[in-house]
Amino acid sequence: MMGKDTSKNKALAINMISSAVAVGVHLAISFFLSPYIVAKLGVEANGFVTLASNFVGYASLISIALNSMAGRFITIKFYQDDLAEANKYYTAVTLGNYVLSLFMVIPAVLCVIYLEKFINISADILWDVKLLFALVFLNYLVRTTFSSWNTATFVTNKLYIQSMRDMQSQLIRVAILLGLFFLIKPYVYYMGVASLMATIYTVGYAFYYKKKLMPQLKVRIASFNKNYFIELIASGIWNTINQLGLLLLSGLDLLIANVFVGAEAMGILSLGKILPNVLVQLTTALKSVFTPTFIMKYAQGDIEGLKLELKKAMKITGIILTIPLSLVIIFGNEFYQLWVPSQDAGLLQTLSVLTIFGYIFTVSTTVLFDVFVVVNKLKTNAILVVISGIASTGLVFILLGNTNLGLLAIAGVSSVANIIRNLCFTVPFGAKYLNLKWNTFFPEVGYSVLSVLILNAIGYGIENIVVIDSWLKLAAYAAITGVLGLLINSFIVLNKTERNYLVKAVKSKVHL
């Protein structure tokens, strides 16, 4: 048993480290390229890079319905030793992706052709932006067509392979971007070229590991059964509705800023959301590491084991994520002053804090979203997300029309909506769906809030006695705060047994 637990914990550590490194590489790209694009092409052009990705998010609402639950069904059948059923689900999702990608070609082409009818684009960068959107849409179609190959690393709980692939693809993206931006005249569509090349690499990588890890999964057209396709859609449609609600909460912010405030304002908001978006990406990466284990425990009927895994995941994500969350709040102003000196650092910091304010109360609750997937009860959560999204968007329009808040309204309203929904529904119902007491997971929420408060007290204490006017000083004081935060979080969140286990686990990493 000890050997099995050690192996599981090592796999978890590898998955987490790989995910964090992949996110770190993505952060490095944004860190170095965004100020360059702002300096060479303007803040408006930089905003279109993020807006193009957001448009893909709108288009992906359709593919989410088919793909979001495939891993869950295939994993359950795999660990129930029912490969025939697992293959039927795999065939359904794979063929469905082929058809979906063909279906999406026409709307993608029309969107690019008439793009200036939908959003404000300066005439001098019109064709540059259109080419960017065309490449981003093509990237989405390639990724969607072959997305089922990623199932192998999910089912076998080897997500570190996928994280390593993502890291390598980001490095390829960096190499291409450096070559294009610094060797020839800069254009914003280079971002699309580099992303497409990186995706082609990830597709080949996924195909290789699909063949290596799960050769049992094969597409058999003769065995296609529309009932499996319908089952995937029927379950996944609630993830689509949930994603629609998330888009209403924050995914439309750049589009709203572009249409109602202006293209330059959109670019400013895009800069202010870069740090919060990195936090979101890190949260998603860390959360996904635990998902296969949750599904395995549920498939085996081990609810008590699932509860313990959920609590452990909440503690780990809380310990890790409250540190960058606090660093953004404490040192964001100094970061923006050094990073984009031509912009209003105070405004960018305010936008960042408003965007991530809700995370103070909900940073550890994101793990509980997987409960709805695991037990296949997505409806209520999806409806509530949509309701909160509609209310949030409506309030933003009211504030834009009746106040001078502008970007502040766009950035801040969704945070309040997220706090209310997560604390009133996600945490208690995450327990209820597992037949646990409604307050089972609230202690972990309290630990995260306390950690953020203490970390901010330490960070502001440091900030008030030093002058941070260089990258070296910023890095040094942020590192000091981060290390202190890790130590403090370990004592706040973990009990003595868990701390001793963590120390032993860290010591054993040299043997990974």
**39-65 pLDDT tens trace:** 777 777 777 877 887 777 777 777 777
My answer on whether 364 and 478 are in the same domain is yes
Structural domain range at position 475: 273-512
Q: Which helix (H) or strand (E) holds 177?
A: helix 159-183
Closest CA to 439 of 448, 429, 449, 447: 429
pLDDT of residue 1: 43
pLDDT of residue 251: 60
Q: Per the structure block, which two tokens stand in for 231?
A: 């089952």
pLDDT of residue 23: 67
pLDDT (mean) for 400-421: 82
My answer on whether 297 and 216 are in the same domain is no
In a domain, 246, yes or no: no
Rounded CA separation 180/194 (Å): 9
Give 421-475 pLDDT, tens digit per residue. Answer: 888 888 898 889 888 898 888 888 888 888 888 888 888 888 778 888 888 999 8
Give 291-344 pLDDT, tens digit per residue. Answer: 778 888 887 788 888 888 888 888 888 888 888 888 888 888 888 888 888 788
With 0.75 as the threshold, say if the pTM is over it.
no
In a domain, 201, yes or no: yes
Q: For the chain, what is the mean pLDDT?
A: 80
Listed in sequence order, the residues at least 6 apart from 264 whose beta carbon sits closer than 8 Å to its beta carbon are 43, 44
How many residues does the structure list for the chain?
512
Residue 512 binned pLDDT confidence (cut-offs 50, 70, 90) = very low
My answer on whether 278 and 218 are in the same domain is no
Give 189-245 pLDDT, tens digit per residue. Answer: 888 898 899 889 988 988 898 888 888 888 888 778 888 888 888 877 877 787 777
Give 237-268 pLDDT, tens digit per residue. Answer: 877 787 777 777 766 777 788 777 777 788 88
Burial of residue 90, with CB atoms counted within 10 A of its CB: 0-12 exposed, 13-18 middle, 19 or more buried: buried
Give 18-31 pLDDT, tens digit per residue. Answer: 666 666 666 777 67
My answer on whether 234 and 284 are in the same domain is no
In a domain, 258, yes or no: no
pLDDT of residue 64: 79
DSSP string, 366-412: GGGHHHHHHTT--HHHHHHHHHHHHHHHHHHHHHHHHSS-THHHHHH
pLDDT of residue 138: 92
Domain C-terminal end among 238, 253, 281: 238
Closest CA to 436 of 309, 325, 342: 309
